Amino acid sequence: MFKSLLALALSLTLCSAISASELIEVKGKTLGRENHQFIYKDKNACKSCHVSGKKSTTDQACVDCHGTIDTIKIDPKNLVNSHANPHASVHYDTAISCIACHAEHEKKAPLCAECHRSWFKEM
């Protein structure tokens, strides 16, 4: 039930742009994404993504709330060009890991930016 409510809340608060929301202080000095701040109000917030303590999260934690890479809509107007859709990569198709591009607690440049430097900024 909690996962369903969390997924609904996320879908209502996500923007259609490619970029992640801003980093803010969410618990003490811990940074988190502004669009996830409702998660941090729960005392077990970390377990929403980190199922085994402070270890790294998994793609499944992302998919449980945000859906699969196929279901996440990206507005083409927000792309630098038609080839710059990271969720439809000519190199990885849809097999790339969520955490190769996205981070919750720090800014991160998407994997594509290693070669396509002008297409993506650090999020």
Question: Hey, what domains does the chain have and what are their CATH numbers?
Answer: 2-114 (1.10.1130)
36, 105 Cβ separation under 8 angstroms: no
Residue at token pair 């941090």:
40
User: pTM, whole model, 2 decimals?
Assistant: 0.70
Write out pLDDT tens, residues 61-108. 899 989 998 898 888 888 888 888 888 888 887 788 898 888 888 988
